[in-house]
Amino acid sequence: MPLKISFWGCTGSIPSPINTEQLRKKLTDTLWATKDTKFSNKQSVCEFINKLPFHQRGTYKGNTNCVQIHSAEDIPIFCDAGSGLRTYADSLPEFPEPRTYHIFLTHLHWDHIQGLSFFKPAFQAGNKIIIHTLHHEAEDAVRRLFSVPYFPIDYDQLDADFEFDIRKDGASFEVGSLEIKTLKQDHPNHSWAFRFETGGKAVVISTDCQHANNAAKDLNYPFLKFFNKSDLLVFDGQYAYNQSAKKNNIWGHSDIATAVELAARAKVKQLIITHHEPANNDATIHQSLAFAEKQAQELATELNYQTTYPNNIILAYDGLKIEA
């Protein structure tokens, strides 16, 4: 089975859905774009919408971080438990069979754990939820999520069994046929990147990390080895192309130009930008794509590549599914 991932949440820091005013602007622009078009049926309307740029027909904004990694064994595996985890849970049938859910936590900031509070499987007896992480405060953090005055239901009242698989720095994990490696990242109170491998394919998830100026040019930079020749790299693009992460470095995030530079030098096949800055609107996020593609082409020339790495750059949105 090919290695696939699904995005349930792509916004950094705090959920940030578009508001009525922003939706109205999209509708106005779209209706104006149809002024010379006659539609004969709904299908032709759908075809017209499909040709619109993504920031006009859709939105990058919404839930906080949650990526599902689809295993050959059909085990539910997630990286991070932001508010997108609730949307996943809402997609389940009303009374699903009891299962074991695996949730890898990069770190414990709100935007990576807040979805657990509304994760329906936590309220169903017979389920087991295994939290895999390198943060030794994980159990304490999850207990505090389910406690007064923040939440009406106490951790000890949850019907599912929680298990905490907490490892030391440098550890690797195995779930089903997936082998998972880890790398410590520079972020307030630290975060970890995960590399998921199976059947010769690799997906790396690396958000919530800041990189020093010119770090990508150091051949010994550990991230180059960790990302090396991965099929999919899911990367922290909190700041758009014209917004430097360096100016905002108290938050410990990265930017889209850094994403492209690292992905190109590590010969990553597809780069997926996520953890979007909540203050950026869809148009601002979308504008970065053309700059990023141009930068990848320029780097291919500079590095004497026969092909461009990354050969596909995608701005993630809630609902995106992609295959390695």
* Contact set with Zn ion (CB under 5 A): 12, 109, 111, 208
Distance (Å) of CA 308 to CA 262, 297, 302, 313: 13, 6, 11, 11
Nearer to Zn ion, 111 or 282 (CB): 111
Q: How far is the CB of 316 from Zn ion (least distance, A)?
A: 14
Q: What is the 3 state secondary structure string of 49-81?
A: HHHCCHHHHCCCCCCECEEEEECCCCCEEEECC
Specify the residue, 189 or 297, whose C-beta has the smaller distance to Zn ion.
Answer: 189
Number of Cβ within a 10 Å radius of residue 176: 13
Q: Which is nearer to Zn ion, 137 or 163 (CB)?
A: 137
DSSP state of 186: -
* Shortest reach from residue 277's CB to Zn ion, in Å: 11
Shortest CB 243 distance to Zn ion, Å: 16
Pairing state between β 173-175 and 161-166: unpaired
Q: Give the nearest distance from C-beta 8 to Zn ion in angstroms.
A: 15
Give, for 198, the enclosing helix (H) or strand (E): strand 191-198
CA count, 13 A, side-chain hemisphere, 299? 24
**Residue 26 or 237 having the CB closest to Zn ion:** 237
Helix (H) or strand (E) holding 90: helix 84-90
Query: Which residue's Cβ lies closest to Zn ion?
Result: 109
Is the distance from CB of 184 to CB of 192 less than 8 angstroms?
Answer: yes
Helix (H) or strand (E) holding 128: strand 128-133
Nearer of residues 280 and 295 to Zn ion, judged by Cβ: 280
The smaller minimum CB distance to Zn ion, of residues 208 and 318, is found at 208
- Toward Zn ion, which CB reaches closer, 12 or 121? 12
Smallest separation, CB 207 to Zn ion (Å): 6
Give the H or E element holding residue 130. strand 128-133
